[in-house]
């Protein structure tokens, strides 16, 4: 299991993560609060829904779902991120592991909605597809939603424009491209809705055809 992004890097970031997103501007967090709210809107959840947050981080997205009366499960591979999430979400079930690994028994269930924010850009497109397929097959309740917000561009040209604009500030990772993503998921029978929320971010909703 390739891991180009070690947990230790995120442990070091944990204490300043919230302050780096609260300004809501600049790459990669331009539109951060709008992205989280768009995930909430697309989820369609009601009080009592079981929500799984993949890459829960410090718990910012999950906290919004908890505020709507949802039951929260969360996975993250950074122990320090999980420790901060526990403070915000004392009633949540949290696990510290790579989401691509085998999950604890407590997490082996179906969820009304599975969400994620700023996590899947650490995976190549083929792995993104495999992960969503696994979620639909093993963890999503019938009629449920998978909603993923992340660094995303409409196509390679849009990504290149942003890269040239940022210059030395650019950090290349496996960012989503709407056009290639749509084709990859349609090829395995999964439909996709994409909503752009800023110059460098958007939200994807996935459902099996």
Torsion region of 73: left, alpha or beta (phi above 0 gives left; psi -120 to 50 gives alpha): beta
- Write down the mean pLDDT value for the chain: 92
CATH class label, 7-11+31-208: alpha beta
Q: Report the alpha-carbon distance of residue 159 to residue 44 in Å, rounded.
A: 30
The SS3 call for residue 146 is strand
In the predicted model, what is the mean pLDDT of residues 6-11? 66
Query: Which pair of structure tokens corresponds to residue 37?
Result: 């709210």
Bridge-based pairing state of the strands 201-208 and 140-153: antiparallel
**Helix segments in 120-194, DSSP class H:** 125-138, 156-166, 178-186
CB atoms within 10 A of CB 159: 19
pLDDT over 90, % of the chain: 82
Q: Report the alpha-carbon distance of residue 119 to residue 56 in Å, rounded.
A: 9
Q: Report the alpha-carbon distance of residue 121 to residue 192 in Å, rounded.
A: 17
110 pLDDT band (50/70/90 cuts)?
A: very high
Domain ranges of the chain: 7-11+31-208
Query: Model-level pTM greater than 0.75?
Result: yes
Has residue 13 got a pLDDT over 90?
A: no
């Amino acid at each position: 299991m390739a891991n180009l992004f070690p947990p230790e890097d995120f442990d070091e970031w944990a204490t300043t993560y919230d302050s780096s997103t609260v300004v809501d501007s600049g790459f990669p967090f331009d539109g951060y609060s709008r992205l989280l709210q768009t995930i909430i809107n697309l989820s369609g959840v009601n009080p009592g829904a079981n929500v799984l947050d993949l890459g829960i981080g410090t718990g910012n997205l999950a906290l919004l779902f908890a505020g709507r009366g949802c039951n929260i499960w969360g996975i993250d591979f950074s122990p320090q991120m999980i420790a901060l999430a526990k403070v915000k979400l004392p009633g949540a079930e949290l696990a510290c592991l790579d989401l691509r690994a085998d999950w604890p028994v407590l997490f082996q269930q179906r969820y009304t909605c599975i969400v994620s924010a700023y996590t899947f850009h650490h995976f190549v497109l083929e792995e993104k597809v495999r992960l969503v397929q696994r979620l639909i097959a093993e963890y999503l309740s019938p009629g449920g939603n998978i909603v993923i917000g992340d660094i995303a561009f409409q196509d390679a040209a849009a990504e290149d424009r942003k890269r040239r604009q940022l210059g030395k500030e650019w950090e290349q990772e496996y960012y989503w491209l709407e056009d290639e993503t749509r084709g990859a998921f349609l090829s395995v029978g999964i439909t996709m809705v994409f909503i752009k929320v800023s110059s460098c971010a958007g939200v994807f909703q996935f459902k099996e055809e």
